[in-house]
A and B are shown apart, each in its own frame.
Chain A
Amino acid sequence: MATAVATMATVPERHRVNARRRLTERVVVSLLGLATLLGIVLLFLILAHVVVSGLPALDLAFFTQRPKPFGEDGGGVEPAILGTLELAAVSGLLAIPIGIAAAIFVVEYRSGRFAAPVRFAAELIAGLPSIVIGVFVWALLVRGWVGHYAGIAGAVALAVIMVPIVARTVEEVLKLVPHSLREAALALGAPKWKVILRVVVPTARAGIATAAILAIARSAGETAPLLLTALGNDFVSTDLLRPIDALPLRIYRYALSPYEDWHTKAWGASLVLVAVIGLLSLALRLALRRGAR
């Protein structure tokens, strides 16, 4: 007993404490690792469910036919798929130039009086709930200029949501372009507009592509603003002045219904949506890797 105490007394204080502290470290790190695992497991759970429940819905009819009357099995979601694609294209066409312009404005013309308000406004809009943007576009276009539910109102609502995303990302990328490039071009006698369009923007093109893809992926999944603007359509429609269907809208209506067939279709539509967004994000990664060269 005395020897044990004596032995303990000869072990340096530092080593004894270390054992406890190392245990604490191991426990804490395990907990932290578990937290990380939880996040990843959730992701896989959700994606797995979408795939497993959605695959049975994907037959040819799903992609090429329009919805059948209530309660009848079969049919498809062609109007929604085409609608989502058209909305993505139109809202992209509206939002990407404006977003890039806003970023150029803030970075290249930052001494201007309006640079700060533009940046501030973009940040604020980015933080707004999308339903509020839906209310705004409904009042402006559905009740106002257009006069009825229409695809263009849906596209505008999506564009409003996308502009701050594009602007913010492109701004970061433009800031990364070295000043020396701009100065060299100016020194060679190029006017400011040429410096921006021919030197700065092309240098940042990978980042701009990223911004565009990010924004489109985000808008493809938006539902709330479309409820109030695009309304939805059981028929394929490319006319922007008529209501248009979209995958998120279909998923919402089908999910809340009691029809099993519609539930399966909702999963199927989710799978298509997630797949499209996944592909876009992959394209993004490839664009980034190429731009880095």
Chain B
Amino acid sequence: MKNKVEVMRVITAFLAIAFLAAACGGGADTSTSSAADACGVPAKAKCTTEAQSLTGAGATFPAPIYTKWIDQYSQLTGVQINYQPVGSGGGIKSFTDRTVDLAASDVPLTDDQFAAISGGLYMIPTVLGAVVPTYNIPNVTATLKFTPDALAGIYLGTITKWNDPKIASENPGVTLPDMGITTVHRSDGSGTTGVFTDYLSKVSPDWKTKVGSATSVNWPGGVGGNGNAGVAGAVKSTPGAIGYVELIYAIQNKIGYGVVKNASGKYVEASLDSTTKAADGFTPPDWGNLKGQQAKISITNSTNPDAWPISTFTFLLVPKDIADKGKALAVLRFAWYGMHDGQAFAKDLGYAPLPANVVTSAEAALKAVTSGGTTVLK
């Protein structure tokens, strides 16, 4: 009996030591060392003074391309960036609470949210994307055409059946069933929602007054899905459903998606080209001073005749001053990687690369970030 208690004590002590060791230890270090001046941009190899792991959270909209960048970047520099897609709302909140190193959002902060952040931030654009209406209608494989009115009506709940004249009139060759429409929206705070409702507010005065535009709104009915993935999942498994997702989620999961009539009255397909055209003539604002200027970054309902009407930039939120120099280096080098080498992955993943003038302005913003007062990137 006595011995057993002693043995238990030894085991407990051993476990306690193991626990302490784990708490004080760091992440795995897998890449190879390199020259000391590897800490500039563009990142080419491991930099010994930058943080070896970062925590990120935010938008699900760019998650497919961000996780791709992270995978490539960790092979390049050994930095492990843990990005958890919790939605733009989660990204903004985590950023405000400073519970993450890297935050992502598809939409700008509201005035109140900007005010809550001491020290200010830069919104760094990383890539362009398209929000598409995706649907699951039995026996319908055609690409459906939606007018802005139809889309607003569906989500407002005034259009309840797939064979409603407002939808049918735009799709003469398609037999639409007499089936109820189940709208799927985001149950979490979402930048994709922000973009979609921004678009609906522009094209439907009814929507603007009744529901409005934000990362979380009071949806007139429908089912809630968690993340872009959750919405796609819900649409894929629910006959008669319609949802709004970033293009790649519809493509990767082979769910049908439609086209929306743009501001010039044309039906264009969501593609790299039409998304890029939505940013045609876009003048980059002061990325560090967006309070009260949020409308400047919206590119929905563009007047360009070949533009996809529900397009958007997506952003990384970077504080104007990052106290920890190692973290600052890691964040900035990764952001730089994304908007340069990372752009090569955009096309295959259904996103559009940034226009050249946007890249230049973003570079300037990154170079302006300081750590304890001194700029980080040379």
Mark A residues whose CB is within 8 Å of B.
Answer: 68-71, 86, 89-90, 93, 97, 142-143, 147-149, 152, 197-198, 201-202, 205, 231-243, 253, 256-259
Q: How far is the CA of A235 from the CA of B71 in the complex (A)?
A: 10
CB distance from A177 to the nearest CB of B (A): 13
Contact, CB under 8 Å: A242 / B53:
yes
Give residues of chain B (71-102) contacting chain A, Cβ–Cβ below 8 Å: 71, 74, 80, 82-84, 86, 94, 97-101
Interface centre among A70, A198, A238, A239 (most CB of B within 10 A): A70
Residue in A closest to B54 when the chains form the complex, CB atoms = A242
- Partner-A contacts on B (CB < 8 A): 1-2, 4-5, 12, 15-16, 18-19, 22-23, 25-28, 53, 55, 57, 63-64, 67-68, 70-71, 74, 80, 82-84, 86, 94, 97-101, 225-227, 229-230, 232-233, 235-236, 248-249, 252-253, 255, 349
Q: Which residue of B lies closest to A142 (CB)?
A: B99
Inter-chain contacts of A257 with B (CB < 8 A): 227, 229-230, 232-233
Chain B: CB-nearest residue to A90: B19
For the complex, what is the distance from the CA of A259 to the CA of B232, rounded to whole Å? 9
A-B contact pairs, 10 of them (CB 8 A): A69-B70, A70-B64, A201-B5, A231-B55, A231-B57, A235-B53, A240-B23, A243-B84, A258-B229, A258-B232
* Cβ-neighbour of A70 out of B1, B57, B63, B86 (below 8 A): B63
Contact of A147 among B2, B18, B98, B230 (CB under 8 A): B98
B260 vs chain A, min Cβ distance (A) = 21
Q: CB distance B236 to A258 under 8 Å?
A: yes
Within 8 Å by CB of A238, from B12, B25, B82, B100, lies B25
Q: Enumerate chain A residues within 8 angstroms of B349, measured Cβ to Cβ.
A: 71
Q: Beyond A86-B22, A239-B23, A243-B84, is A93–B15 a contact (Cβ under 8 Å)?
A: yes
A147 vs B4: C-alpha distance when bound (angstroms): 40
* B16 and chain A: residue at smallest CB distance: A93
B1, B22, B55: the one contacting A202 at CB < 8 Å is B1
Instruction: Determine whether the beta carbon of A256 is less than 8 Å from that of B249.
Output: no
Report how far A276 CA is from B349 CA in the complex, Å: 37
A237 to B1 alpha-carbon distance, docked (Å): 38
**Contact A152-B23, Cβ < 8 Å, known A256-B227, A257-B232:** yes
The answer to whether A242 and B27 touch across the interface, beta carbons within 8 angstroms, is: yes
Nearest chain B CB to A276's CB is how many angstroms away? 18
Chain A proximity of B107: nearest CB distance (Å): 20
Closest to B26 in A: A239
User: Is B27 a contact partner of A256 (Cβ separation < 8 A)?
Assistant: no
Across-interface contacts of B236 in A (CB, < 8 A): 258
Assess whether B5 is in contact with A197, with CB atoms less than 8 Å apart: yes
For the complex, what is the distance from the CA of A68 to the CA of B72, rounded to whole Å?
A: 11
Question: Are B55's CB and A148's CB within 8 A?
Answer: yes
Structural contact, B229 and A235, CB atoms closer than 8 A: no
B5 touches A239 (CB 8 A): no
Q: How far is the CB of A223 from chain B (nearest CB, A)?
A: 13
Residues of chain B contacted by A86 (CB below 8 angstroms): 22
B19 lies within 8 A of A69 (CB)? no
Report A-chain residues with C-beta under 8 Å of the C-beta of B2: 198
